[in-house]
């Protein structure tokens, strides 16, 4: 078997066999197949696509290219959720404790932010002392004893995906839906997930700009789950404007804590309850979405959800006093209200532009490894569909550099469209995708 034959076969639009995909992934991972051939293959996939079976075979080959964690000796069901990335997306910080408060263990491996998307681990590290670096043994022990873990990717998980993604990023092949789907799902399978809720973002602040593309991606990932004998459901959620009000690491953690105490923004709370409901359905704790949402609300109202978040922070060395005293979080030197230049209805708050603004303030990374300023960010005072008076506050800016703050003001105003015509609110979700049958 030769790599060039596999490249030509895919270039011609033919279907690759399980053996050919396994050969190619193994060869790329161990260095026998060079980057230039892998890049040619990825471009062929971008143009010709893959069948669901091919994509499932690719996913499994990448998942088993390194360590695969087995959590069956720790929990009856390894439940996970994954977001495809967005602006202000602190959903995991709320969803995990609520699900755990409903009696379901949740162990999640998360990533760090890059460019306009925030990273869950960066947010949690706003809490002094919080340790996101756990070994596989520590991860499993905490899941068994505490029932809740939120850590960085552990061990040599799906190394083929890491190598392939780095090539895709510099060869113009990132938008390939089969390659996106296999990338996401290979990491989930390698980390031991048996049941997964996928939160597929749609809009300006997402990698999928429209609902049709997002649905195609969601359907493919759900089908991969079927081939891999996993329970998978996908939600299509809006990311045209930031999720919630806060964008920026410590600001988002404070908003998550408020939500767990029943005090967060209504739309963000509703988004989290919807995700929780689907996780509880997969775990067999709820018969339908309505029952799942009711259980989520009870977990928050009873105080159990914030208790579980506190237990998570304590288990990973974090200072739990900030949960009761959010004023102890890092605070920016310059805090400035940005007023609306006109009276009207808000038609757009461009999520990606808001995310890039926070990145330039120091709250995100242009390159992997860049330092993070946990204190900076933006708080939105309105949503699309709201009316605002001239001089009324649109945003509150948190910055540690006056020049960057001045640039941020202009960028945020440019990202906001206000018109005399009344705007309609954006939906939270555009639907869901379940396995057929």
The stretch 377-388 carries a mean pLDDT of: 97
DSSP 359: I
The stretch 252-273 carries a mean pLDDT of: 96
Q: Active-site residue among 10, 81, 82, 382? A: 82
CATH 1.20.970.10 is held by the domain 3-49: yes
Provide the pLDDT for residue 367. Answer: 65
Please check the confidence at residue 310 and state whether its pLDDT lies above 70. Answer: yes
CB atoms within 10 A of CB 342: 11
Vertex 322, ends 317 and 323: CA angle to 5°? 95
For domain 79-324, give the fold. Pyrimidine Nucleoside Phosphorylase; Chain A, domain 2 (3.40.1030)
Distance of CA 387 to the CA centre of its chain: 30
CB atoms within 10 A of CB 14: 12
Q: Specify whether the CB–CB gap between 430 and 211 falls below 8 A.
A: yes
pLDDT, one tens digit per residue, over 67-102 is 899 999 999 999 999 988 889 999 999 999 999 999
**Segments making up each domain of the chain, as ranges:** 3-49, 79-324, 331-419
Provide the pLDDT for residue 169. Answer: 77
Active site residue 382: no
Q: Active-site residue among 10, 168, 271, 308? A: 168
pLDDT, one tens digit per residue, over 143-200 is 999 999 999 876 688 899 888 988 887 888 888 999 999 998 998 999 999 999 999 9
Comparing C-alpha atoms, which of 207, 170, 169 is closest to residue 83? 207
Q: Active-site residue among 81, 90, 187, 285? A: 187
Predicted TM-score (pTM) above 0.85: yes
Active site residue 168: yes
Architecture of domain 331-419: Alpha-Beta Complex (3.90)
Provide the pLDDT for residue 117. Answer: 65
Active site residue 183: yes
The stretch 347-356 carries a mean pLDDT of: 95
């Amino acid at each position: 078997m030769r790599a060039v034959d596999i490249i030509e076969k895919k270039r011609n639009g033919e279907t690759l066999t399980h053996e050919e995909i396994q050969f190619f992934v193994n060869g790329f991972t161990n260095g026998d197949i060079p980057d230039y051939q892998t890049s040619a293959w990825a471009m062929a996939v971008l143009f010709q696509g893959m069948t669901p079976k091919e994509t499932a075979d690719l996913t499994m080959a990448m998942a088993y290219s390194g360590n695969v964690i087995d959590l069956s000796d720790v929990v009856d069901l390894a439940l996970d959720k994954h977001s495809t990335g967005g602006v202000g997306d602190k959903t995991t910080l709320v969803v995990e404790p609520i699900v755990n408060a409903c009696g379901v263990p949740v162990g999640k491996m998360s990533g760090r932010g890059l460019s306009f998307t925030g990273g869950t681990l960066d947010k949690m590290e706003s809490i002094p002392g919080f340790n996101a670096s756990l070994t596989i043994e520590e991860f499993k022990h905490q899941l068994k004893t505490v029932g809740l873990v939120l850590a960085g990717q552990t061990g040599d998980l799906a190394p083929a995906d890491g190598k392939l993604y780095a090539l895709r990023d510099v060869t113009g092949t990132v938008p390939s839906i089969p390659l996106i789907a296999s990338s996401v799902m290979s990491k989930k399978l390698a980390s031991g997930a048996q049941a997964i809720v996928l939160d597929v973002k749609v809009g300006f602040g997402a990698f999928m700009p429209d609902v049709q593309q997002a649905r195609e991606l969601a359907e493919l990932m759900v089908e991969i789950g079927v081939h891999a004998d996993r329970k998978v459901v996908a939600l299509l959620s809006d990311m045209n404007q930031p999720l919630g009000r806060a964008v920026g690491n410590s600001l988002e953690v404070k908003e998550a804590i408020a939500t767990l105490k029943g005090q967060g923004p209504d739309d963000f709370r509703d988004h989290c309850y919807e995700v929780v409901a689907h996780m509880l359905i997969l775990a067999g704790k709820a018969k339908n979405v309505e029952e799942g949402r009711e259980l989520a609300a009870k977990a928050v109202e009873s105080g159990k959800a914030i208790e579980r978040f506190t237990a998570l922070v304590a288990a990973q060395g974090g200072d739990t006093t900030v949960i009761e005293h959010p004023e102890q979080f890092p605070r920016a030197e310059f805090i400035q209200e940005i007023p609306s230049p006109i009276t009207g209805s808000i038609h757009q708050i461009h999520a990606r532009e808001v995310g890039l603004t926070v990145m330039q303030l120091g709250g995100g990374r242009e390159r992997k490894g860049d330092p993070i300023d946990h204190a900076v960010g933006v708080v939105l005072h309105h949503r699309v569909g709201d009316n605002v008076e001239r001089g009324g506050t649109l945003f509150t800016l948190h910055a540690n550099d006056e020049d960057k703050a001045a640039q941020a003001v202009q960028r945020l105003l440019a990202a906001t469209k206000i018109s005399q015509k009344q705007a309609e609110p954006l939906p939270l979700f555009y639907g869901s995708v379940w396995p057929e049958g």
